[in-house]
Amino acid sequence: MKIWTTEEKYRAIQDSDREELEQLHEKIAASPWREDYHIQTVTGLMNDPNGFSWFDGKWHLFYQWFPFGGVHGLKHWYHVTSDDLVTWKNEGLGMKPHLLEDNRGCYSGSGLAEGDTLYLAYTGNNKDIHMQRHPFQMLAKMDREGKIVKSQIPLIYEQENYTEHQRDPKLFSYNGKYYILLGAQTKEQKGVFLLFESEQIEKGWKLLGELKVRGYEDFGFMVECPDIEKVGDKWVLLFSPQGLEPDGDRFRCKYNNVYFVGDMDFENLEFIPDGEFEELDRGFDFYAAQCAYQTKEPDAAYMIAWFGCGDYTTPATDEEGFSGLQTLPRRLTVENGKLMQRPVPAAEKIRGDILFEAKKGSIIRDRMHGLMPRSCVIRLEDPDQESINLNLFSKPRRRGFEIAYDKFKKVLTVDRGDMNQQFNTEFGTDRKIRLANGLRSLEVYVDRSSVELFVNDGEYVISSRMFPEKDENLIRMGGRNIDLTIWTANKTVTDDFVI
Ligand code: FRU
């Protein structure tokens, strides 16, 4: 395994030539684990989604990007666009670190579209000569031609009553005012939300104080990537707290991404939750979710997340020179007080030809003959709530990637512990959810090195990376009276080298 020196990790794109990255891209493009319909890193490592927004008739997304290999190094922003959140185009470098304020990376942030400008707020991660970190909340502006200009003057300077961990500004507007919600750490090592306000985006920011969540005080040792969205007449507060303890089948990842549904009291700096905070995803690999600023649909939010987690590794691809993925974008709604997460409407375009179909448990057509496609979409209806078993990427005497529902216990299990490639096993190799009202439907998106399960039409989502090898090429299915369809998956992302 390659050991990266500090010098190698802190190279910026301007310190290299195109050829070096082109060669790296050529190498990774040949990997069996490059995806067909997920946003994937052009080269190197991708982590959080940034600046997700609807601007100038298109969706824009940036991601945290270290160009030179599958490790966390100097972070840039890479830019991709889409008309429908399903078909994505690589646009090239969005931002590179070149100011004193961001000398150790352009860290995560958000986008707010207004008029002819997409405002991008991000954290300038500065380190001084003693390697002491100083966070600055910075601004860049993108015009309709896609030209991005960074502003030299920070919007917000380091806040002295908190530690060096202050980052990931969520810039939003409400009732004629602008706000920035920031993740921070108190000197007692507690994760908190800071709320800032201004009359203008480009200046005049002042700290209102900590945003408290009524009835809750403990969000671990740090809150990363806070995000707040109005969905219908409710507010949804999403965040990635670090240091939560596992609780039975919940919070089993190293770091978990959670949400509250509730109401926002700007005057008293208080979020009033309707209930407990819940995980956004019940799988293995999901972090730093961000909603897009959009005004098209006031009753819904659009969200995307890093299909990974801090301090995890995916050795299968890291060593080939790439790491990380974005999840499928999800459409969020609040229904009867509950957050529902579904694939975006255009996700239908991912479905290609029908490979397999069973009705009430009987096979109607089968073009797979037991062979597992590398990517596909599976839809399962279970009207009688019978037990089911799906073993993807299995092989003789091995269960592969197992999805199982036990109708007696009403427990859905996803288990990746019997695949050849094992990684991050200290955080468990299975995930279980007890479904109070049983299993009614499953929609499974399989894409070469990832699986996402949408359970009961958006009630839960379970996301998992996996790296099937050549000999893991069988699919086994079991379940009485179920309706099951499997489609080929269309390619909606191109693996173009654009920097
Ligand atoms: C979350 C995070 C952010 C930070 C970024 C750096 O994954 O640690 O808090 O801005 O990643 O890449």
Q: Give tens-digit pLDDT for 387-405.
A: 999 999 999 999 999 999 9
Token reading at 471: 């000999």
Q: Which of 322, 343, 364 is the last residue of a domain?
A: 343
Give CA separation, 216 vs 211, 272, 474, in Å. Answer: 11, 10, 47
316 and 353 together in one domain: no
Q: Which CATH number does the domain housing residue 268 bear?
A: 2.115.10.20
Residue given tokens 């009403």 in the structure block:
410
Per-residue pLDDT band at 295 (split at 50, 70, 90): confident
79 and 44 together in one domain: yes
Q: In what order do the strands lie in the sheet with 148-150?
A: 106-114, 117-127, 133-142, 148-150
Q: Which of 328, 343, 358 is the last residue of a domain?
A: 343
The single-letter code of the amino acid at 210 is E
Alpha-carbon distance 368 to 63, whole Å?
36
Q: In this model, does residue 485 exceed pLDDT 80?
A: yes
230 and 215 together in one domain: yes
Per-residue pLDDT band at 137 (split at 50, 70, 90): very high
> How high is the pLDDT of residue 274?
98
The answer to the question of residue 1 being in a domain is no
- Which atom of ligand 1 is nearest to 64's Cα? 12
298 and 427 together in one domain: no
153 and 70 together in one domain: yes
Token reading at 114: 């207004």
323 and 388 together in one domain: no
Separation of CA 170 and ligand 1 centre (Å): 13
Partners of 195 in beta bridges: 181, 209
Which H, E and C letters describe the chain, residue by residue? CCCCCHHHHCCCHHHCCHHHHHHHHHHHHCCCCCCCCCCECCCEEEEEEEEEEEECCEEEEEEEEECCCCCCCCCEEEEEEECCCCCEEEEEEEECCCCHHHCCCEEEEEEEEECCEEEEEEEEEEECCCCCEEEEEEEEEECCCCCEEECCCCCECCCCCEEEEEEEEEEEEECCEEEEEEEEEECCCCEEEEEEEECCCCCCCEEEEEEEECCECCCCCEEEEEEEEEECCEEEEEEEEECCCCECCECCCCCCCEEEEEEEECCCCEEEECCCCEECCCCCCCEEEEECECCCCCCCEEEEEECCCCCCCCHHHHCCCEECEECCCEEEEEECCEEEEEECHHHHHHEEEEEEEEECCEEEEECCCCECCCEEEEEEECCCCCCEEEEEEEECCECEEEEEEECCCCEEEEEEEECCCCCCHHHCCEEEEECCCCCCEEEEEEECCEEEEEECCCCEEEEEECCCCCCCCEEEEEECCCEEEEEEECCCECCCCCC
The answer to the question of residue 150 being in a domain is yes
Q: How many domains does the chain have?
A: 2
288 and 369 together in one domain: no
226 and 314 together in one domain: yes
> How high is the pLDDT of residue 296?
84
- Which atom of ligand 1 is nearest to 306's Cα? 7
Partners of 150 in beta bridges: 140
User: Which residue's CA lies nearest to atom 9 of ligand 1?
Assistant: 224
Ligand 1, from 65, 74, 107, 137: best to mutate by most atoms within 8 Å of Cβ? Answer: 107
Token reading at 403: 């999805």
Q: What's the predicted TM-score (pTM) here? A: 0.97
Q: Which residues line ligand 1 (CB under 6 A)?
A: 47-48, 64, 75, 107-108, 123, 167-168, 224-225, 287-288, 310
Token reading at 456: 């009961």
Q: Which CATH number does the domain housing residue 373 bear?
A: 2.60.120.560
Separation of CA 461 and ligand 1 centre (Å): 23
**Mean pLDDT of all residues in 199-209:** 98
Separation of CA 363 and ligand 1 centre (Å): 47
306 and 358 together in one domain: no
Q: Give tens-digit pLDDT for 41-66.
A: 999 999 999 999 999 999 999 999 99
Q: Which residue has the higher pLDDT, 352 or 294?
A: 352
The answer to the question of residue 355 being in a domain is yes
The answer to the question of residue 225 being in a domain is yes
The answer to the question of residue 499 being in a domain is no
**Mean pLDDT of all residues in 189-204:** 98
Cite the active site residues. Answer: 48
**Mean pLDDT of all residues in 332-346:** 97
> How high is the pLDDT of residue 293?
84
The answer to the question of residue 496 being in a domain is no
The answer to the question of residue 470 being in a domain is yes
> How high is the pLDDT of residue 337?
94
Ligand 1, from 46, 48, 163: best to mutate by most atoms within 8 Å of Cβ? Answer: 48
Average pLDDT, rounded, for the chain: 97
311 and 408 together in one domain: no
> How high is the pLDDT of residue 1?
80
The answer to the question of residue 286 being in a domain is yes
Q: Give tens-digit pLDDT for 16-31.
A: 989 999 999 999 999 9
468 and 355 together in one domain: yes
203 and 105 together in one domain: yes
- Which atom of ligand 1 is nearest to 108's Cα? 10
Q: Who contacts 278 (Cβ-Cβ below 8 Å, separation ≥6)? A: 258, 259, 339
> How high is the pLDDT of residue 205?
98
Separation of CA 47 and ligand 1 centre (Å): 8
Residue range of the domain that includes 373 = 346-489
Ligand 1, from 168, 182, 253, 290: best to mutate by most atoms within 8 Å of Cβ? Answer: 168
Q: Which of 343, 373, 398 is the last residue of a domain?
A: 343
Separation of CA 310 and ligand 1 centre (Å): 8
